Amino acid sequence: MNTAPATLLRSTAELEALGRADGAVRAVVMTMGALHDGHATLIRAARAAAGPEGQVVVTVFVNPLQFGEAADLDRYPRTLDADLAVASAAGADAVFAPSVEEVYPGGEPQVRITAGPMGERLEGASRPGHFDGMLTVVAKLLHLTRPDAAFFGQKDAQQLALVRRMVRDLDFGIDIVGVPTVRDPDGLALSSRNRFLSPEERRTALALPRALFAARDRLVAQQTLHARARTLPERDGRAAALTRLGEARAAADSQAVALARPTVAPSAVLAAARAVLDEAAGEEVPLTLDYVALVDPADFAAVPDDRVSGDVVLAVAARVGDTRLIDNIPLTLGALT
């Protein structure tokens, strides 16, 4: 592994001139800069995958096609010197940081990647055109960097799903690797946008991870409870079985009684998350909810309430002050059945 500072590349010509040994693995991490430990975790994962003889390239490009408002684009932090230091410390060999003119020499591209129905849900509904712009620049950067593997954070779960779908549908022949979300000790998912939060706004923003963890805990607790209840004699009704287990509250809870079956309904998971988010909406610095949804990770369609098993993603987006935040957590329905 190269222990020298990462080489800064500003042009496609410099990128094309970047050599690598025959058979060496090249891994790429795509970012919009303002790197934090979440990005560093991606770079370290890419470094481990590429190995000591391989090569890790980090791209830093604030893509104008992804921004619906010019003000939001202008506000996005640019910290290239600090980004170089973070990338180097995490094990990157090169940082490709082109200008907008370098990436789009003829102006905004007339031909773009379309995200399709998945790109119109959740984040796509809130930010029309965002995913078309994201996929267009990801496709271009994949062609320019020519990696064997590309690493993306699970925090942007819908983006990760769309990139995987694009690579599969269009036969890119590149391995897309998802890396778990990195969180601060208080639970807030690392994001370049967190720097815009005041202390009071950050306290309110903590409702996002609390909501996700509350839903996860509700799911695990109910699945465990129902699994235990099924070990009792069949003659005891489900509610009676819950009571015998010392779960009088659960037995009396109308929702728990309604769910007294071998599975836990998605609506119960969502209800646990919504309770936390609704409370945060009444804070002095309120949380304004955009969406909270339980979706299929393959296409981000809403999970029907009769879904009894399988992997799902609980996703949330909200605005606190002027800052819009997203978060998610993977869950498995029916894990204990």
Question: Which of 116, 127, 109 minimizes the C-alpha distance to 170?
Answer: 116
Taking the CA of residue 197 as centre, how many other CA atoms within 13 Å lie in the half-sphere pointing to its CB? 23
Structure tokens, 39: 């990005």
Helices 266-280, 207-229: axis angle to 10 degrees equals 150
What residue has token string 């897309």? 176
- Spatial distance between the Cα atoms of 28 and 50, rounded to a whole number of angstroms: 10
Query: Which candidate, 313, 242, 318, 326, places its Cα nearest to that of 280?
Result: 318
Backbone torsion region of residue 193, taken as left when φ is above 0, otherwise alpha when ψ lies between -120 and 50, otherwise beta: alpha
Is the CB of residue 19 less than 8 Å from the CB of residue 1? no
DSSP string, 275-333: HHHHHHTTSSS-EEEEEEEEE-TTT-PBPPTT--SEEEEEEEEEEETTEEEEEEEEEEE
DSSP single-letter state for residue 236 = S
Is there a contact between 206 and 187 (Cβ–Cβ < 8 Å)? yes
Which tokens sit at 73?
A: 């684009």
Which residue out of 39, 130, 143, 226 is catalytically annotated? Answer: 39
Q: Say if CB 250 and CB 242 are below 8 A apart.
A: yes
* Structure tokens given for 313: 């993603």
Residue that is written with structure tokens 């995200």 in the block:
115
Catalytic site includes residue 39: yes
Residue whose tokens read 């796509």: 124
Which of these, 255, 193, 198, 195, lies nearest to 221 by C-alpha position?
255
Annotated catalytic residues are 39
